[in-house]
Structure 1
């Protein structure tokens, strides 16, 4: 009875399959469902009497089904898998838009891979060719699904029913999977971003495992890298950096290029400190336990953007050695210098080593450009025309420019010292500017500037004005050095020598201008004459007064437009002149008034009081501004 009951049940199943299945393939699919649902409905049992048609007209079809049902198991499995996989491959919607479909498709792929492993190539070549053709279709669809998952907007999970192509509707296109997610700019570089949600990463890993198992690991890595490269490139572009031909970069004005360099520095930090480590982490998760393909995908995704950023550094470094470029080149150098420690954390030793080598080469190119700028600065000082003097012996523009330039440069002293020490060419003993020491480089520039100023001072027709000019420029150099790291670089000895030089120029000015004035008032020469009442003595005293007044007025007239730019130096110089002239003049006037009748007669020729002489001295060196 039990057997009759089972036979009736099997017969009922066959009837259902026959009734619902319009074709043999559909009927077989229905039988496959029953077989999977209940172990009593094995395919062998369900197909055992399908060779006995119910009426003669059904004989041909029954004969065909009988032949199919008695095929070898592997052939029957491939046929079944073909039906299952074809349904997924032909679908116009993404398989991964439905979790159940995705799981079923992956299971079918796993079964196909296992079946291929069971086939014997010489004996089962037709079956093997058919299975491999089916596998190829699977791989193509898996690759499409992988790209679709990668194109999902960040933060979005599977969208049930999402079509493969979303048409032309603008609203749909705005949120479609064809939109590549782009990283937003950040200020904190001490982080790692998750570019994809964990669910998408799990889906990608599942696909990658099947493609690698099928022998298409490189194709999987390359397809993955194409999409991720778009993400990285778009993220860098969003920071204002887009690849440009070298000739376009070199043709840019410095103002435009300076802005681009500022954006480049941010992009380098973003790319190498956030995007690259984040992409490495993502590759390791997608290609977990598949390390060769993780490295391939990572390199292909990140290397183009990294190479483009480094190429920009090479192009800028190859540009003119204009001193104005120094500070942006330092920014670029420091950005690349600080990267290698971060790159050491990349698990892919081969790629990180190559990347470190590229970064180091870019850094060396920038270093060579920086050293070249210092050479050009020396040439600029030497080329400044000697005949270009400054009215009133004031501060020369070349002095102001060089000192402010070096003061600003020394704010990056550590970097510049590193750049100079990295020079590959040994220094030329006959040319100090080639020294790898920053301190010697700067000291040499100071010597070149001094020499240039000495030549300029010789253009002035009045020797005292030459000394005023040298004092002004020498004092400025000293003050700029003492107020910054430039002084630490040059050293205290240099500052002391510079101050002593300024004092010597001051003494030279004093001798050239005021010594002859004081000599007129020497009492050992005129004292006897003042004390004498003779007409000759009175005449001599009057003559000396006339000469003194003439000297004073000549100094006032000639030096009226001369200027001492440093207030402290101006005060020191006036005090020194007053200390030299005023006591002698005061003593002269006192002796004159103490004299007899001759002195009283000579006193009538006193044109200036001591206070007026002091006022005249105090009105010097202000550039000719009108006095009260």
Structure 2
């Protein structure tokens, strides 16, 4: 740097200022352009970007993020420092002219790439690509102070403008991807029925997407507020999302409401997919499993700060309601077969215990494929069902089993299930999806006792956003 400064001072003092500047620009511009090229940035038109395979564009986007960080911290910043040092003591116009001719073209090439990519993706949005676009947006935003400082001269104001234009284009493209994400959930028409009422793949993938999006909430504040023609509050039904949970910031509340709305769209789709199960009990088990997954992911990720504790607690309560509805439809009929009466003949007791055994086998058979993937919900449901069924069966068994066995001795009949047998199944086999009881039975009655089927219910008209159970 000292040697270059000495050369410049000598040439300018000798009357060769023009030649000095011209030579300096020529060599330094070559170095800057070569640096940009080595960072993987090249001039690509919007039409050429449109024709590129998605994986190639994705690779270039990732390469561009690294290139911007290196360029602003090292390449352009170093060039500005060198220019200021070499021509220190001379006119500002000389320094400005040198830096402009050396850096402007490369900077415009670098900061113009996001605009081409954003236009491409805005017309062909793919929710999976939103994260790379967000990373590009973050990269420009974080480097904006450096851009404004390095390219502070009026003659390079086009560089600052290009950075802002790219931010606006990226913002528009990101909004398009958000809309497309919501649209994909709404348009999902898969008829796949998840075995055992488990968590639907759509629920898993959507919550993965939303959880990752929530990590960008600080950036999405500016994007969503700028791109919204009207308040996001108008999207949600009244009382669904309590804005008092927000931090009082209008911009922050817009983002919170937008996320709450996207989750609601998912829940409404889950509600619709539940109706593909013929049995109402399975519908409620499906709803419980999927809402448990939604609420659990919301609680364990950045979504918690957006949706709030009250929202999460309210939806866990709804999980409990769905679980209780499942229990009522699938298991309470068993409890009703254990009347609280002591006035019963041995024959009546024998008949009633036979009915209970048959119904228990039938219910176990019909519920054998049911699953509850969440361990907490699994234990809660097993415990709840046991609390409702075991006490009434134990009381009935203790009161009438001896008489029933005496009444059935002549025909070789014996009580099939003790309270301990029922307890063992409920505590270890229920919701495991392993199938029917692994015990030898003389007969299994394949009835649907205890199950209410949707075929007997009136069909409701489908709506674009049906959410009757949420």
Normalising by the smaller structure, the TM-score range is 0.7 to 0.9
**What residue number does 2:255 align with?**
438
**What residue number does 1:600 align with?**
406
Matched, 1:346 2:163: no
**What residue number does 1:469 align with?**
286
Change (3 A) 1:488 1:564: same
**What residue number does 2:315 align with?**
498
The Cα shift of 1:348 comes to 4.3
Q: Secondary structure at the match of 1:339?
A: helix
C-alpha distance after superposition, 1:504-554 (max 9, x if no partner): 111101110111110110223xx311xx4xxxxx44333322221221111
1:5-404 superposed matches below 5 A = 197-208=1-12, 217=18, 221=21, 224-288=24-88, 289-318=90-119, 319=121, 320-346=124-150, 348-351=152-155, 353-385=157-189, 387-404=191-208
Which of residues 528, 540, 543 is equivalent to 2:343?
528
Choose 1 or 2 for highest CA Rg.
Answer: 1
C-alpha distance after superposition, 1:37-71 (max 9, x if no partner): xxxxxxxxxxxxxxxxxxxxxxxxxxxxxxxxxxx
Change (3 A) 1:387 1:226: same
The Cα shift of 1:562 comes to 1.4
Q: Assess if the C-alpha contact under 8 Å between 2:285 and 2:326 holds in 1.
A: yes
Q: Secondary structure at the match of 2:227?
A: coil
Q: Assess if the C-alpha contact under 8 Å between 1:208 and 1:287 holds in 2.
A: no
The Cα shift of 1:210 comes to 5.3
Q: Assess if the C-alpha contact under 8 Å between 2:259 and 2:307 holds in 1.
A: yes
TM-score, length basis structure 1: 0.62
Matched, 1:570 2:374: no
Q: Assess if the C-alpha contact under 8 Å between 1:221 and 1:294 holds in 2.
A: no
Separation in 2, partners of 1:244, 1:601: 91
Q: Secondary structure at the match of 1:381?
A: helix
Matched, 1:620 2:430: yes
Number of residue pairs the alignment of both structures matches: 416
Separation in 2, partners of 1:208, 1:412: 52
C-alpha distance after superposition, 1:320-343 (max 9, x if no partner): 321111221121111110123223
Q: Secondary structure at the match of 1:242?
A: coil
**What residue number does 1:15 align with?**
none
Change (3 A) 1:605 1:313: same
TM-score, length basis structure 2: 0.82
C-alpha distance after superposition, 1:138-197 (max 9, x if no partner): xxxxxxxxxxxxxxxxxxxxxxxxxxxxxxxxxxxxxxxxxxxxxxxxxxxxxxxxxxx4
Change (3 A) 1:474 1:424: closer
C-alpha distance after superposition, 1:449-490 (max 9, x if no partner): 110000000010111111111111111111111111111210
Q: Assess if the C-alpha contact under 8 Å between 1:295 and 1:348 holds in 2.
A: no
Q: Secondary structure at the match of 2:216?
A: helix
Separation in 2, partners of 1:432, 1:583: 44
C-alpha distance after superposition, 1:402-421 (max 9, x if no partner): 11111122222322223223
C-alpha distance after superposition, 1:68-118 (max 9, x if no partner): xxxxxxxxxxxxxxxxxxxxxxxxxxxxxxxxxxxxxxxxxxxxxxxxxxx
Q: Secondary structure at the match of 2:191?
A: coil
Aligned-CA RMSD value: 2.6
Separation in 2, partners of 1:347, 1:616: 73
Segments of structure 2 that go 5 or more residues without pairing to the other structure are: 238-249, 439-470
The Cα shift of 1:360 comes to 1.7
Q: Assess if the C-alpha contact under 8 Å between 1:205 and 1:285 holds in 2.
A: no
C-alpha distance after superposition, 1:414-456 (max 9, x if no partner): 22223223336343665459x9622111100111011000000
**What residue number does 1:150 align with?**
none
